Structure 1
Amino acid sequence: MEENHMFDSKARSPWTSLRGIERITVSPGKQRIEAAITIPGSKSLTNRALIMSALADGKSQISGILKSDDSYWCIEALKKLGVNIKLQGNTAYVDGNGGGWSTADLYIGSAGTIARFLPGALAACREGEWELEASQSMRKRPVAPLIDALKELGAEIDYLAVKDYYPLRMKGAEMKGGEVSLSGAISSQFISGVLIAAPYFNETTTVTIKDEIVQHAYVYLTLDLMKEFGADVQDDNALQQIVINPQGYKAKDIQLEPDASAACYFLALAAVTNGRIRINGLTEKTKQPDIQMLEVFEQMGCKVTRGTTFIELEGAAQLKGDFVISMKEMSDQALTLAAIALFADGPVTIKEIAHIRHHESDRIRVICKALTQLGIKVEEFSDGLKVYPGTPKSAFLNTYDDHRVAMALALIGSRTEGIQLNDPGCVSKTFPQYFAWLEELGLRITKQGTE
């Protein structure tokens, strides 16, 4: 995949922070990090809940939404489709109209969730025409497994530029339902994209997974939320076959959990600085897969307290290495682990994450390049990397318009003077206030830019 050096300014929403800031420098703070924080709502749950409530009949209240670029473009698209959505703080009031959506031209930014969840929902609308445009980085992420499955079920979809990629043109159609098989090897979101729409198909839909699912937990998140909104769905425990009967969503008042992926950066910050961080409102019982990072932190010598209403992590004076780990089910944290692994007492090998080469950037190549720039020895594999212990030097690092690259590399600045990152505003895709929070926790943040 071609690496992005320039960001796509159109994809940044009004909720973007750091507008006009071209470079940020992260350096260690002077005091031990000790804090209790409350993380914004789950990105994964926010866009699922917004789309399901928009399809539902009646008024839903969704509390604890994440206000980020991804959720902004989801809300804007739904408004253009004629769904009445009002925001008060972190609560969205959604007046669902049963999928009777208006014709519109839609822009979805870089949001993988909308790119994979919206086409099925549109296909299930019996009338209307839509053009779906995406950001430059989203145009490079394949969407064929989803589109092929939807076409098989009756959807009318055309590619407007390059086959198998955004932008798309769609027409409302009679989605007959029936049997369909698709792959989850590139992204579990393709499966969720069919599942979310299937209650609005004419007949029972049976989804068979023909190979593997890279992250099972996200499919379970989809199924659980569908059931909360009143869908009639059954699955086997292995998620090899899922059956959805035609029964539309009902309006629902729902409180979303904090985002476990975002929480992990702050837990990692405590781990790597021998600090202490408590995350309020998130527990080990969440089904968000990145919660599995708690076991990784413990393996590295950290003390984790699993409370009934919180999670707390206390770091170690010296992180432990010398292990090999599959990050397949929590691959969003692969870069987080890579960034702190260099401070461990032995090498850390991360495996089974080939699919993250197809995200906003080729994340394996990008993190290896950054670590090499820092003077750290690293080995790159087709499906992962091996990070050796070392003392990083100051460097100016590219974020490749990738929020997870920027957030992970910033952690290195908690132990190393002068870690400079270009285009720090890319974090607004999922966590606009990330650098402000790091500064509040005591890290030294210096901004340079046009303003």
Structure 2
Amino acid sequence: MTTWNAPRAPRPLKAVVDLPGSKSMTNRALILAAQAEEPSVLRGALRSRDTLLMAAALRALGIGVRDDGVDWRVTPAPPTAPASVDCGLSGNVMRFVPPLAALARGPVSFDGDPQARVRPMGPLLEALRALGVSVEDSGRGLLPFTLSGTGAVEGGRVTIDASGSSQLVSGLLLSAPRYAKGIELRHEGPPVPSAPHLEMTVRMLREAGATVETEPDVWRVAPGPLRGGEYVIEPDLSNAAQFLAAAVVAGGSVTVRNWPAATAQPGDRLRELLPRMGGEVSYDGRDLTVRGTGRVHGIDADLSDAPELAQVLAMVAALADGPSRFTGIAHIRGHETDRLAALVTEITRLGGDAEELPDGLEIRPRPLHGGVFHTYDDHRMVMAAATLGLAVPGIEVENPATVGKTLPEFLDLWTNMLEQ
């Protein structure tokens, strides 16, 4: 399927949605389980391109990962080399696996999709060099590159600029317990985006038995063993954005089941953002429901801690009764595509009025019309286009299969939501 006709909402919604597990939690759990003292099982793990690439990367390093569907089993082992890792377009793989691969004795090469070869890697590679790891990247600070490890990493103090991605910090922290001196990591530069993902990394390290101390822009991880056992993966709350936003756009209600009462996932900000855009949110301790009110409002919001919500919220904003401004998201220019440029281009192509800001996006609603919505091999652009298509007839979504990166079931879940 090269294009998909995004369906309009035939009536106000009354839907219940069950979402697969969190990509961010699944991939962190895989890295931690790979280093544990005993085997682990991941309950409710996400099965998508990004997590399959992570599992394949660990297998390439000699670590046992058995995919039993929703439950994955990991048999830890010291990483081995030589090896070759395909990162695809996964920021998790390209930033979480190299610090682990540095513990192998021998060369480990990394490459990925063409779009991945422009995603920022330099600060991570420089940090590994500072920790004594040999890195050959032709001076580019990008994929492809090769690490040559000696079987151990001394660890210690290192300073990086992680303003391009919180994954640069998380990647180093997740393998730090296996470094001889652990790590003391300092960030110098503009603020690190996606703070909840850093909180998730720290929380999961501690739950696995690591000793982690934090202060502003400083993280200390002590050397020591990690526990195996059971990881329970929460539903992916970032992937809830388009389903809950659908209720705001189309009216009626959408419920996402098994919403955690307390979580580090950035998608939890939907509880605060969607009411500001016209929805009513209720939570019964287990399920989260958004109801449309027949009104869609523009907002001014800093999304620095939840940048993955920007594309869907931009579509809601394009349908609002007033302008919106989303800031704190300059770094999403370096995600799967230049997301700010992509949003401005597609909204404008369909008759809207959108403008890039130095650190975000401004949208001034205008009447929209149908047309091809280009998605730039970016899964969240597909989900954004579907949200817009609920209210704008004739939206043809390019390359819908790209949702396989994080939510292969998206088209079925979307159709089912509309048919309930």
Aligned to 1:276: 253
Aligned to 2:313: 337
AA in 2 matched with 1:182: I
Secondary structure, counterpart of 1:129 in structure 2: strand
Aligned to 1:221: 200
AA in 2 matched with 1:268: A
User: Does residue 132 of structure 1 match 2:82?
Assistant: no
Contact 1:182–1:208 (CA under 8 A) maintained in structure 2: yes
Residues in 2 aligned to 1:360 and 1:162: alpha-carbon distance in whole angstroms: 22
From 385, 388, 407, the equivalent of 1:409 is 385
AA in 1 matched with 2:240: A
Contact 2:186–2:219 (CA under 8 A) maintained in structure 1: yes
Aligned to 1:193: 171
Aligned to 1:447: none
Contact 1:234–1:242 (CA under 8 A) maintained in structure 2: yes
From 341, 350, 371, the equivalent of 1:374 is 350
Residues in 1 aligned to 2:329 and 2:261: alpha-carbon distance in whole angstroms: 23
Following TM superposition, by how much is the alpha carbon of 1:435 offset from its aligned partner in structure 2, in angstroms?
A: 1.4
Unpaired segments ≥5 residues, structure 2: none
- Which one has more relative contact order, counting CA pairs under 8 Å at least 6 apart? 1
Following TM superposition, by how much is the alpha carbon of 1:382 offset from its aligned partner in structure 2, in angstroms?
A: 2.1
Contact 1:124–1:172 (CA under 8 A) maintained in structure 2: yes
Contact 1:272–1:316 (CA under 8 A) maintained in structure 2: no
Residues in 2 aligned to 1:208 and 1:185: alpha-carbon distance in whole angstroms: 12
Change (3 A) 1:204 1:133: closer
Deviations 1:267-302 (A, max 9, x none): 011111112111111135211112112211111221
AA in 1 matched with 2:374: N
Secondary structure, counterpart of 2:185 in structure 1: strand
Matches within 5 A, 1:205-244: 205-211=183-189, 212-236=191-215, 238=216, 240-244=217-221
Deviations 1:176-211 (A, max 9, x none): 111111122110000011101111111142111213
- Measured on the aligned residues, the alpha-carbon RMSD in Å equals 1.5
Following TM superposition, by how much is the alpha carbon of 1:443 offset from its aligned partner in structure 2, in angstroms?
A: 7.0
Aligned to 1:93: 73
Unpaired segments ≥5 residues, structure 1: 1-20, 445-451
From 53, 56, 62, the equivalent of 2:36 is 56
Contact 2:182–2:221 (CA under 8 A) maintained in structure 1: yes
Aligned to 1:383: 359
Contact 1:108–1:135 (CA under 8 A) maintained in structure 2: yes
Contact 2:8–2:389 (CA under 8 A) maintained in structure 1: yes
Aligned to 1:179: 157
Aligned to 1:362: 338
From 104, 107, 111, the equivalent of 2:86 is 107
Deviations 1:379-428 (A, max 9, x none): 22121121122221011121111111111111111111110011111111
Secondary structure, counterpart of 2:375 in structure 1: coil
Change (3 A) 1:23 1:204: closer
Following TM superposition, by how much is the alpha carbon of 1:118 offset from its aligned partner in structure 2, in angstroms?
A: 0.4
Residues in 2 aligned to 1:100 and 1:121: alpha-carbon distance in whole angstroms: 7
Secondary structure, counterpart of 1:441 in structure 2: helix
Residues in 2 aligned to 1:156 and 1:197: alpha-carbon distance in whole angstroms: 17
Residues in 2 aligned to 1:39 and 1:305: alpha-carbon distance in whole angstroms: 18
Secondary structure, counterpart of 2:228 in structure 1: coil
Residues in 2 aligned to 1:339 and 1:398: alpha-carbon distance in whole angstroms: 14
Residues in 2 aligned to 1:215 and 1:292: alpha-carbon distance in whole angstroms: 12
Contact 1:283–1:307 (CA under 8 A) maintained in structure 2: no
Q: How many residues align?
A: 418
Contact 1:215–1:329 (CA under 8 A) maintained in structure 2: yes
Secondary structure, counterpart of 1:72 in structure 2: helix
Contact 2:6–2:385 (CA under 8 A) maintained in structure 1: no
Deviations 1:243-286 (A, max 9, x none): 11111322121111110100111101111111211111113521
Matches within 5 A, 1:32-47: 32-47=12-27
Residues in 2 aligned to 1:195 and 1:378: alpha-carbon distance in whole angstroms: 38
AA in 2 matched with 1:395: G
Following TM superposition, by how much is the alpha carbon of 1:162 offset from its aligned partner in structure 2, in angstroms?
A: 6.2
Residues in 1 aligned to 2:419 and 2:119: alpha-carbon distance in whole angstroms: 34
Secondary structure, counterpart of 1:328 in structure 2: coil
Which one is further off, 37-46 or 202-211?
202-211
Contact 1:397–1:421 (CA under 8 A) maintained in structure 2: yes
When normalised by structure 1's length, the TM-score is: 0.90
User: Does residue 260 of structure 1 match 2:240?
Assistant: no
Aligned to 1:294: 271
AA in 2 matched with 1:271: V
AA in 2 matched with 1:246: P
Following TM superposition, by how much is the alpha carbon of 1:102 offset from its aligned partner in structure 2, in angstroms?
A: 4.1
User: Does residue 316 of structure 1 match 2:293?
Assistant: yes
User: Does residue 149 of structure 1 match 2:132?
Assistant: no
User: Does residue 82 of structure 1 match 2:58?
Assistant: no
Residues in 2 aligned to 1:70 and 1:328: alpha-carbon distance in whole angstroms: 23
Residues in 2 aligned to 1:380 and 1:253: alpha-carbon distance in whole angstroms: 44
Which one is further off, 100-109 or 348-357?
100-109
When normalised by structure 2's length, the TM-score is: 0.96
Residues in 1 aligned to 2:372 and 2:228: alpha-carbon distance in whole angstroms: 49
Residues in 1 aligned to 2:283 and 2:417: alpha-carbon distance in whole angstroms: 22
| Identity within the alignment, % | 30
AA in 1 matched with 2:14: E
Residues in 2 aligned to 1:305 and 1:286: alpha-carbon distance in whole angstroms: 17
